[in-house]
Amino acid sequence: MHILVIEDEPKTAAFLHKGLSENHFFVTIASNGQDGAYLATMTHYDLIILDVTLPKLDGWTVLTEIRRYNKKVPVLFLSACDEIQARVKGLSLGADDYLIKPFSFLELLARIQSLLRRSQSHIQEPQILRIADLEVDLLKHKATRNGQRLDLTPKEFALLSLFMHHQGQLLSRTLIAEQVWDMNFDSDTNVVDVAVRRLRSKLDDPFTKKLIHTLRGVGYVLEER
Ligand code: CA
């Protein structure tokens, strides 16, 4: 389960990162509204925790932006202001729940689990994703092309899953680095090129039809051409 936390206060962000990681969630932190909105609309998350008061874009605007692209991802609002108006505004813009700071981590965890249960009973993510003759079974961690099993390392499988979730979308190297390696935006992204090359050697090289395409200097896209 992957949670995006959009929170500018370093202490709260660190507290959430630590607590959620310890509870086996994969956590990405965005420290301003702009980065948060960008990540939320570019990538699949199972849940988003969103602070109201944020630099660059406030939580209301971020939420409106998220809902333009994604009606379903559960969004939990965090705010210091406990006025009823703020709560009503968040819920009317499409937040699923609302928590007032300061909150106990256990309460947050209970809310998260309830939101995830609700969202999963509605949308069952497909277990098998397909493109052309490539089939990726997310539960069994198995990928085949033309019925032939591909022997992938866990990182290669994670990379392939990311591509499969975003078929036809351009994925920048920094985004891939962030999602698959949990690295910062400024980190060296050469590791991405190396990993994509390895994945291609198994996924594309033995076959006539290529599925991973390069946009030089920008990133990669998985699609049928
Ligand atoms: Ca804040």
How does pLDDT run across 186-202, given as a tens digit for each residue? 556 688 899 999 999 99
Give the Å distance between the CA of 218 and the centre of ligand 1: 32
Using CA atoms, how far residue 202 sits from 11, 55, 149, 179, in Å, is 43, 43, 10, 21
Please report the pLDDT score of residue 138 as a whole number: 83
Give the Å distance between the CA of 115 and the centre of ligand 1: 22
125-168 tens-digit pLDDT? 668 889 999 999 987 889 999 999 999 998 899 999 999 988 89
Is 40:48 a contact under the CB 8 Å cutoff?
A: yes
Give the Å distance between the CA of 101 and the centre of ligand 1: 10
Give the Å distance between the CA of 78 and the centre of ligand 1: 9
Give the Å distance between the CA of 88 and the centre of ligand 1: 19
- Model-level pTM greater than 0.75? no
Instruction: Tell which wins on pLDDT, 92 or 145.
Output: 145
Please report the pLDDT score of residue 123 as a whole number: 54
Give the Å distance between the CA of 140 and the centre of ligand 1: 40
Lowest mean pLDDT among 39-43, 146-150, 212-216: 39-43
How many degrees, rounded to 5, is the angle at CA 156 between CA 151 and CA 159? Answer: 140
